[in-house]
Amino acid sequence: MSTDNQPLAAKQNLTWPKYLEIRRQKRRWETAVTIPFTLLGLAGGAAYFGSIETDATKVIMGIDPLFFYGGCTIACMGLGYLIGPVVGSACWRLTHRRTMGLIEEKDREFHKRIVKNRVDPTAQSATNPVPDYYGEKIGSLHQYRQWLRDQAKFRRKAQFDEQ
């Protein structure tokens, strides 16, 4: 077997620890891109709405213009916060084009495991919320095992409360 085929064989078989590392890396990309997009949204909103000349005696939709434009600036920041993860995910996907098939296959298998092992959310309450229902924070085998334990603990607690 040549050394050129060995990395290809490794890519053909994506292990769970490697897959979970890739998931964690994707989440970091999304977070890293969200921060500048949020700041750009704030700066863009402040630049645009701060430059509008307005008459302070005329209200906009029943709201003082200063508060209205301030709210619009905050909305621009919120839009940047929402767009950031989408752009971060797209950038991450560009860097992992070659292995996307394997990653998507593991994503489907991981999702099936999450759906199979997660608890019924109808048993939750304000004092007993469901722990990480979608398994978003799972980034390693240790965290996955902890997630399974948390699900079992919630299931026992919900079953005990019903009886």
The CA-atom distances, in angstroms, between 140 and each of 9, 17, 90 are 23, 6, 23
pTM above threshold 0.85: no
pLDDT digit string (tens) for 24-80?
999 999 999 999 999 999 999 999 998 988 887 888 888 888 899 999 999 999 999
Cα of first residue to Cα of last residue in the chain, in angstroms, is 61
Using pLDDT thresholds of 50, 70 and 90, give the confidence band for residue 1: very low
Residues 147 and 88 in one domain: no
Average pLDDT over residues 133-153: 90
Token pair of 48, please? Answer: 């645009």
Structural domain span for residue 154: 118-163
Structurally, the chain folds into a number of domains equal to 2
Last residue of a domain, one of 99, 133, 155: 99
pLDDT digit string (tens) for 84-136?
999 999 999 998 888 889 999 999 999 999 999 988 888 787 777 888 888 88
The DSSP bridge partners found for residue 60 are 63
Residues 123 and 94 in one domain: no
Residue 1 domain-assigned? no
Residue 136 domain-assigned? yes
Residue 162 domain-assigned? yes
| Cα torsion angle, 6, 8, 14, 17, sign | positive
Residue 6 domain-assigned? no
Helix axes 65-95, 16-50, angle to 10 degrees: 150
Q: What is the pLDDT of residue 162?
A: 59
Using pLDDT thresholds of 50, 70 and 90, give the confidence band for residue 161: low
Q: What share of the chain is helix, strand, coil (3-state, %, to 5)?
A: 75, 0, 25
